[in-house]
Structure 1
């Protein structure tokens, strides 16, 4: 259900964050795994991925570029909204961003999270983070946060992948398999994803919940936009972590490539559609491990880019902001799957009725 228009006066670009030097790596990983009791010795195993790139995750610089692109697109449309940036796990942290927003006199904030799908880590955890940041800064009665909807099937997200997939398949051998890959999450978390949506609409998603349903729908939308609906494809996962006895979504992309090779498949095109930018998990888990696995079997292998700051993606994100500014009806909100448009999120912070007009 569409919320009424939001008379916002600022935008917050919210993301995961990443280290920007060797000394940042372990403190960053402690933030990522806070509350899980993981010793530094085990964190150092993951740290090696970052140390391979001099301890620098590309995600912060990518968000700087995305922030600049959003500012340029807003200015080109004559929309006077400043864009701020905050992260979950590394500076600038959400609390710092909220203080800056409030210090500049802003009160109603549109929040754009760099997560296209519904899951605890992509929705619920951010909501908890924002609540904590509002409480820690004492701004819960001052600021109001309005997150835009998940954009897994928005044309601005679908089209960049589709164009790259079409080009990659044209250059690949016949019989090449498309690997649509996203971040694995615990199966129990996947199964309950979208429960609030189900309670509100009666639409049930089955095994894997909304998280899996959205990815399957997005994959079909990308294939259709790429004129490649006859290509063989699978939904696969990467970056599993946590205790070995806890079930996570499968198959792992490297294991699946092994199976494809055993069946004589000549190549793979990897579509990292679980991500909006080429950050560490793309560069390591896919560009290093998955490509190495495929090439070890003598397979043709290519990983297509994420949207990053593709003009279509940036335009689509600003379209999402405008939806909230104008209270665009659902029937007018662009979407490429039967699951969309996904509903708006409830506001956080000061209640709308208590704010001055």
Structure 2
């Protein structure tokens, strides 16, 4: 087993005040030719929540809980934190690690699935940060995908079960799982045996429904599409699907954002505002299950993923799809579409 001497939490990052919003959005969209007026339009999503994304505070709380978990599990590794788009920046974290003498680190990335944007892009960003620091930068390996880890599944199942407890008539209720849509050109994921992004999301949804005790019908749909209308993305969009459900005599919809590890702006705006408004206009009762709490399930999952690489402990997983090393060449290839007309909002 490789000898690791640090763990690095890598996340998307987000603004922490109104003055941060536009600079953050410019970081996210740099090089894509997004007009300033479009950024100002998207900025309103953040200002709706005071200009603060919950993602950075979520990372702080995860790190605090994980440090305690590491102490209890005998994992003597310091934890660093670097974001892709807002301080603390990834390159600054790698610089600190280099100064502290770290030689090899294990990266925990806050995305459970394999695709270009949720896996390979993180690997590329880590490589760019290492290159910026220079030859003395530590080697950094990314943990595997964890969409079927028991801690991940149980975290969503508990939240879904809590919302299902509010349902009076299960026969008129539909559970709807959502994940971030991606372009069709990114749909294929070339792991050793192949496993499409949509297959991973579908397996996670099946496992969550089973663990939550839901035996009724459920659907997997998509949200947060950001490409030009002519570009094929995964469908159906949740708002379009709600219209279909309203025509099928469904009266209650329970939405579980199984594609997202935390309630960041993309979840809050797209589901708690746009989708909720669509449901209200259709006369549907709309319940939204939360993302996993920062509890023993979530923190234990990260501990397990680190232990797999540090101690060689067996993989903890519930699914049947293949698991592959995200460092392999060809994993989650970069099949970039043309510049979108709306960036991903976090």
In the superposition, the TM-score normalised over structure 1's length comes to 0.88
The residue that corresponds to 1:61 in the other structure is 57
- Structure 2 residue runs of 5 or longer lacking an equivalent are 330-346
Match of 2:282 in 1: 297
107, 116, 121: which is aligned to 1:120? Answer: 116
Kept in 2, the 8 Å contact 1:10–1:108? The answer is yes
Cα distance in structure 2, aligned partners of 1:131 and 1:11 = 16
Q: Quote the offset at 1:311 in angstroms.
A: 1.7
TM-superposed CA distance for 1:102, in Å, is: 1.3
Give CA deviations for 1:59-88 in whole Å, capped at 9, x if unaligned: 111111111111111112222111111001
> Deviations along 1:227-259, whole A, 9 cap, x unmatched?
22x221111111111222111111111111111
Q: How does 1:157-196 map to 2 (within 5 A)?
A: 157-172=152-167, 173-174=169-170, 175-190=172-187, 192=188, 194-195=189-190
Cα deviation, 1:261-307, whole Å, max 9, x if unaligned, reads: 12220111110111111110111111111122212323221111111
Distance 2:136 2:113 in 1: 29
Cα separation, 1, equivalents of 2:194 and 2:111? 22
Structure 2 CA distance for aligned equivalents of residues 333 and 130 of structure 1: 24
| Deviation sequence 1:334-357 (CA, Å, 0-9, x none) | 1111114x2233389xxxxxxxxx
Which residue is 2:301 aligned to? 316
Verify the 8 A CA contact 1:15 1:113 in the aligned structure 2.
Answer: yes
Instruction: Using the TM superposition, give the Cα deviation of residue 127 of structure 1 relative to its aligned residue in structure 2, in angstroms.
Output: 1.2
SS in 1 for 2:82: strand
Match in the other structure for 1:355: none
- The corresponding residue for 1:216 is 202
Q: By how many angstroms is 1:204 displaced?
A: 4.2
Cα pair 2:123 2:327 within 8 Å, conserved: no
Instruction: Give the structure 1 partner of residue 311 of structure 2.
Output: 326
CA contact (8 A) 1:278 1:308 kept: no
Gaps of 5+ in 1: 349-357
Cα separation, 2, equivalents of 1:282 and 1:204: 28
Alignment of 1:231-310 (within 5 A): 231-310=216-295
Of the candidates 118, 126, 146, which is equivalent to residue 151 of structure 1?
146
SS in 2 for 1:305: coil
Matched, 1:36 2:51: no
Q: How large is the RMSD of aligned CA atoms in angstroms?
A: 1.5
* Aligned partner of 2:91 among 89, 95, 114: 95
Alpha carbons 1:6, 1:327 under 8 Å: kept: no
Structure 2: how far apart are the matches of 1:344 and 1:314? 21
Give the count of matched residue pairs: 327
Q: Is 1:18 the equivalent of 2:14?
A: yes
CA distance in structure 2 between the aligned counterparts of 1:226 and 1:60, rounded to whole angstroms: 29
CA distance in 2, matches of 1:243, 1:122: 20
Which residue number corresponds to residue 353 of structure 1? none
Q: How many angstroms apart in 2 are the aligned matches of 1:43 and 1:224?
A: 40
- The 1-side partners of 2:223 and 2:12 are apart by 17
Q: TM-score, normalised by structure 2?
A: 0.91
Given that 1:62 and 1:308 are in contact with CA atoms closer than 8 Å, whether structure 2 keeps it comes out as no
1:73-131 CA-partner distances (Å, limit 9, x unpaired): 11122221111110011111110000111111111101000000011111111111111
* Contact 1:148–1:320, Cα closer than 8 Å, also in 2: yes
Spell out, residue by residue over 1:129-162, the C-alpha distance to the aligned partner (whole angstroms, 9 max, x if none): 1111111111x44411111101000001000111
2:336 is matched with none
